[in-house]
Amino acid sequence: MHEIKHIFRVNGEPFFPLGGQVHNSSGYNLAELEAAFKALELMDANTVEIPVYWYQVEPEEGRFDFSVLDDLLAGCRAHGLKLMLLWFGTWKNGQMEYTPNWVKSDQERFRRVVTPAGYTIPVLSSQCEENRLADERAFTALMRAVREKDAEEKTIIAVQVENEPGILGCDRDYGEDSTAAFHSAVPAELVEQVAGHPGTPIHAAWEGAGARREGTWPQLFGWQAGEFMTAWQIAHYIDSLAAAGKAIYDIPMSINVWLGDGGHRIAGKYPSGGAVTRVLDLYKWNTPHIDVIAPDIYAADSASYRFECEHYGREDNPLFIPESAPGGSNARNMFYALGAYDAIGYFCFGIESMLDESGAVRPISREVVESFRAARQALPLLLQYQGTGNVYAVVQEEHAGGQTIDMGDYVAWVRYADSDQPYPRGYLYPRGGGPDGFDRARGLIVRAGEREFYLAGGPFRVIFKRKPAPDAELTPAMAAELLSDELPDFQMVEEGSLDDSGNWQPRHWRNGDEVTGGLWVDVKSGLVRVILTR
Ligand code: DGJ
């Protein structure tokens, strides 16, 4: 049992944002937004992420125009959606594309990163105070506008500060000032933080370089010094914006991360100084005004996907995934995040492209859309049971036929639809039609009481068996004995849904052929609620 840090709230109650992010340049284009709203409706989403661009809201220095917020708010309210705003300011994917022209054209005042070869790249330097001040003025103006336009209705539930910050191109700014900082003493505060946290990647780097208490960045951190210094600067830069913004309008704020892919790429190939795993601790120590640091997980293979979930979902940082793939294996992987890593919010990116010209879901996105619909049904259960040990992810890895879940006093034997057993036995799919093939299974099993279970997702079927003694170790012999018959022993099996208050609304009562061979669930059946006899 552990506590889930519910950062997102609506009317003071924990809220699970589930939805999508629009394409980068859709925020000011109402026609494109309509396609996004259509996709969100098909996904059964409750929240949308939309960027606000610095160049758009401050076309001339000091002249602000936030009328775009009126359109965004009207659109979201009309579609019954919550909104997460993304501030495209100093950084967008480790570059400065969304800064205003008056920033881009004054390189003396708004200094850029200089590479080791001595040329500048289109990335603003975190070493330059003018950059930070200009961004802070714009960001605080945005927060004032949000307060003015939304303090009452609270359609906006959170703000992401910058987008995938860092330097794309090299590990640090090699300009004069920054190089001087690099060869100056590492702040004592950071040395204390690092020395006090053995077991963290940054501590290992510090130890490897001799565990010195005083010295320059390269003396203390060796070859990783450039990335660490940039991370230190950017963490402080963004936190100062968040602090100033929250002083105006207190709302959850996040930072998203272009991942460094487990450490086998060098900084600069991904935005250096962003909150990748090796500097995540540094960020957590130095961004007290940021509520969550959130990985953009596009990994298709489940091992990489789970690696990121494991590293970002931690006691001081609940797992929040603001971007993921709008197709492919994300249809399954997302249930690892929701079921095994207690994600508190989940989005996929580029939702307009899930639909074809006629507004229908493209084949490549069908499974993801269906997974989002299944997840939406389970949100009241996630809010209630995450952290209790009663939420289980079902994910069919390639070629797998099933999985066995040890629930302590129960064993859940999950068989996927395309395993050796016919599925669902005696039951035509979906009541009257037959598929040509089966999707790979994905979903959730939630235990809501001693003998009460919910199934979401699909296509899979489950046999629950009580162990001879609670918490007895599940041996192969015991499994064989328990599973020697496949007869579900239940009092009630129903299809239905949960209303917003979490009350069960049954729709269809299953028995006879519909339960022979196991308790099955499919994305089209909605939630299945099961009460076992014993
Ligand atoms: C991650 C960025 O945060 C998004 O703005 C977008 O560029 C996607 N990558 C594209 O995959």
SS (H, E, C) 328-357: CCHHHHHHHHHHHCCCCEEEEECHHHHECC
From the CA of 302, how far away is ligand 1's center (Å)?
A: 20
Q: What is the largest CA-CA distance in the chain?
A: 78
Alpha-carbon span 468 to 480, nearest angstrom: 13
Q: How many helices (H) and strands (E) does the chain have?
A: 15, 23
d(CA 16, ligand 1 centre) in Å: 22
For tokens 């034997």, the residue is 413
Closest atom of ligand 1 to 51 CA is 5
> What pLDDT, on a 0 to 100 scale, did the predictor assign at position 488?
75
337 CA to centre of own chain? 8
In angstroms, the CA 362 to CA 366 distance is 6
| Paired tokens of 422 | 């016919």
Q: Across residues 171-200, what is the average pLDDT?
A: 98
Amino acid at 220: L
Give the span between the Cα atoms of 180 and 178, in whole angstroms: 5
425 has a pLDDT exceeding 60:
no
Confidence at residue 29, expressed as pLDDT on a 0 to 100 scale = 78
Q: What is the pTM of this model?
A: 0.96
252: three-class secondary structure by DSSP: coil
Atom of ligand 1 nearest to the CA of 163: 3
Residue 364 has pLDDT above 50, yes or no: yes
In this structure, the residue with its CA closest to atom 8 of ligand 1 is: 349
Q: 375 with 456: CB under 8 angstroms?
A: yes
> Taking Cα atoms as reference points, which of 289, 288, 348 lies closest to residue 324?
348
* CA gap 363, 355 in Å, rounded: 9
- Torsion angle, CA of 176/182/185/186, rounded to 10 degrees? 140
Mean pLDDT of all residues in 385-399: 96
CA of 5 to the centre of ligand 1 (A): 26
- Structure confidence by residue, pLDDT tens digits, 92-133: 999 999 999 999 999 999 999 999 999 999 999 999 999 999
Top pLDDT among 263 and 445 is at 445
434-462 b/e (C-beta count within 10 Å ≥ 16 → b): eeeebbbbbbbbbbbeebebbbbbbbbbb
pLDDT at 213 over 80: yes
Ligand 1 centroid–CA 357 distance in Å is 22
- Is residue 273 within 8 A of residue 231, CB to CB? The reply is yes
H helices present in 18-66, as ranges: 30-43, 54-57
Spacing, Cα 295 to ligand 1 middle (Å): 11
Mean pLDDT of 332-351: 98
Confidence of residue 415 (pLDDT cuts 50, 70, 90): confident
The burial class, CB within 10 Å (0-12 / 13-18 / 19+), for 153 is exposed
Q: What is the pLDDT of residue 421?
A: 52
* Spacing, Cα 225 to ligand 1 middle (Å): 27
Counting from 1 in the atom list of ligand 1, the atom nearest the Cα of 298 is 11
Q: Is residue 504 exposed (0-12), middle (13-18) or buried (19+ Cβ within 10 Å)?
A: middle
Ligand 1: nearest atom to the Cα of 256: 3
Which DSSP letter does residue 172 get?
S
* Ligand 1 binding site (Cβ under 6 Å of any ligand atom): 24, 93, 163-164, 296, 323, 349
C-alpha 47/C-alpha 80 separation (Å) is 9
Cα angle: 253, vertex 257, 258; to 5 degrees: 155
Most confident among 147-156, 258-267, 500-509 (mean pLDDT): 147-156
pLDDT tens-digit series, residues 513-524: 778 767 889 888
Strand, coil or helix: what is 217? helix
pLDDT level of residue 382 (50, 70, 90 thresholds): very high
pLDDT-derived band at 501 (thresholds 50, 70, 90) equals: confident
At residue 419, the pLDDT reads 62
Q: How far is the CA of 205 from the centre of ligand 1 (A)?
A: 30
Mutate to test the pocket of ligand 1, among 323, 324, 330, 353 (most ligand atoms within 8 A of CB): 323
Question: Using CA positions, which residue lies closest to atom 10 of ligand 1?
Answer: 349
Atom from ligand 1 closest to the CA of residue 24: 5
Q: What is the distance in angstroms between the CA of the first residue and the CA of the last residue of the chain? A: 24
- pLDDT computed for residue 63 by the predictor: 98
